[in-house]
Structure 1
């Protein structure tokens, strides 16, 4: 019997309008009513994840920045796993050497040195998760990311590394140039103590080894006294793979990468077709064994 459900956001829980559909919302509420723990696990920062979840009137734990931060229903931080400043400087140096664009997520917010590239990055993430949506619609949502303060401009990332009050969570790297992205990936792979994943075809995500969705879910399951065998995780991209590996019921979205589908024994509908709701209803309607 499933006692714990984790769902990714972009390309999974969210539809093409970057919203939680009524069907997905109701399925989550139905699961919670049956006593099942529901967790949202995302590469987004807490602020970027929270406002979407609250708009749907859902209350749950949130795994943020790929597992670098975990917040409970009250919004309190219960787990953090950052990149220490020396390693963060090394990562930044590698990325600067390739001339590639990147953003930095910290426990104080998300930062960019380039507004226009910041818009392009979020447009890419949205369109990768929702092909076919109009570019202007997505671009407007990307601009709102800045207007709502979910990302901040900074003149030099160096000030973040020098600030003892900021813990670096994640580097989000972006390029339309496949060779440049590959070069950055190869150079990053030479560094130790980091986890490299992706949430879109033109990005790389860099976290601490202790900041992965799977690591965060294992800690939550242990804290709640729940068995991984009775847990379900749903996702569509490479940064979801670590949590797929620790649960008894890994579910790939219908729009997931082939690599995710190949790993998962269960496949649901796409994010446009309320795949999360269908996967949840399938397990909560199963007779208890």
Structure 2
């Protein structure tokens, strides 16, 4: 097949483009993205991360990309929001305060322009600012935020994530999607606000059909994205719960290896 007929390639980051222990894409990834751009194919990082963090991560090619941010609650292209879905405010406050009260969990509230967190854990704030490269604003309580909240997330130790996920899913899964995003992060986003819905809406806006889309993923927050696109790929190292996500999925060892193969066909 090669890349004939493909107009957009969405790609998850942690566990997919970024291998365990990696904090930034390898130089080969930028070379491949440049070649895709030359052929008129949009490369689209699809991540739970903030827009500012994604632009930093892809700095050498940042202006060539469109971005699925905040696990699908925000899509940015050419510096503007093409898709944005906000949470109902009282629900956002309920979730955020529940996370604040939960032991060993650090909360973030994503808005279009800023990422907010609660004061008290300087190491976590420094991690967001200097390691993840987010635009961070620190507040004393969730109610101090006056922007629309589009996603809430929390980080907890890997060993405690399953219990935390179960607790918050039991409390809130009737009102929002509660999903893991890596081994330490858990996300809350509005129903129909995931990566798949974001891709479908972006495709409608640009006249790109699902069969003209390809996507790479590895975890539960990629499930709806892989179900939407016509050409889904899972990493061989994916979360076991994702295997057999649909009857179209193919398995690959690395994104770069597969893109290199497709570009050569």
Q: Does the alignment reach a TM-score above 0.5?
A: yes
Match of 1:28 in 2: 33
Q: Which residue of 2 aligns with 1:38?
A: 43
Shift of 1:234: 0.5
Which residue number corresponds to residue 73 of structure 2?
Answer: 68
Shift of 1:150: 2.9
The structural deviation recorded for 1:69 is 1.1
- Indicate if the aligned counterparts of 1:94 and 1:188 stay in contact, CA closer than 8 A: no
Q: Deviations over 1:14-73 (max 9, x none)?
A: 35431221221122222222222221111101011111111456621111101111111x
Distance 2:129 2:100 in 1: 25
1:140-151 equivalences in 2 (<5 Å): 144-145=130-131, 150-151=135-136
Residue 173 of structure 1 is aligned with which of 147, 154, 166?
A: 154
Deviation at 1:102, TM superposition (A): 1.9
Which residue is equivalent to 1:183?
Answer: 167
Q: Which moved more, 1:175-184 or 1:22-31?
A: 175-184
In the superposition, the TM-score normalised over structure 2's length comes to 0.85
Measured in 1, the distance between the counterparts of 2:30 and 2:164 equals 40
Is 1:278–2:253 an aligned residue pair? no
Matches of 1:143 and 1:4, distance apart in 2: 30
| 3-state SS in 1 of match to 2:141 | coil
Spell out the pairing of 1:54-203 with structure 2 (5 A cutoff). Answer: 54-56=59-61, 59-72=64-77, 74-96=78-100, 98-99=102-103, 100-113=105-118, 114-116=120-122, 118=124, 144-145=130-131, 150-160=135-145, 163=146, 166-176=147-157, 177=160, 178-189=162-173, 191-192=174-175, 194-203=176-185
Q: CA deviation at 1:181?
A: 3.6
CA deviation after TM superposition for structure 1 residue 101, in Å: 3.3
1:51 aligns with 2:56: yes
| Distance across 2 between alignment mates of 1:143 and 1:86 | 27
Q: How far, CA to CA, are the matches of 2:30 and 2:211 in structure 1?
A: 24
Counterpart-to-counterpart distance in 1, 2:67 and 2:73: 11
More helix by share: 1
Q: What is the distance in 1 between the residues matched to 2:225 and 2:168? A: 25
3-state SS of 2:150 partner: strand
CA contact (8 A) 2:18 2:25 kept: yes
What 5-or-longer segments of structure 2 have no aligned partner?
A: none
Counterpart of 1:122?
none
Could you say which residue in structure 2 is the equivalent of 1:126? none
**Structure 1 position 92, deviation (Å):** 2.5
Q: CA offsets, 1:181-235, max 9 Å, x none?
A: 421221122x32x222211233320011232110110011122212212311001
Which residue of 2 is the match for residue 4 of structure 1? 8
The alignment's TM-score, normalised by the length of structure 1, stands at 0.78
Match of residue 124 from structure 1: none
What is the CA–CA distance in structure 2 between the aligned matches of 1:143 and 1:158, rounded to whole Å? Answer: 22
Q: Distance between the aligned counterparts of 2:203 and 2:81, measured in 1?
A: 16
Residues 58-105 of structure 1: CA distance to partner in whole angstroms, max 9, x if unpaired?
Answer: 621111101111111x21122210102122122234434544432211
Distance apart, 1:116 and its partner CA: 4.5
Instruction: Figure out how many residues of one structure are paired with residues of the other and give that number.
Output: 253
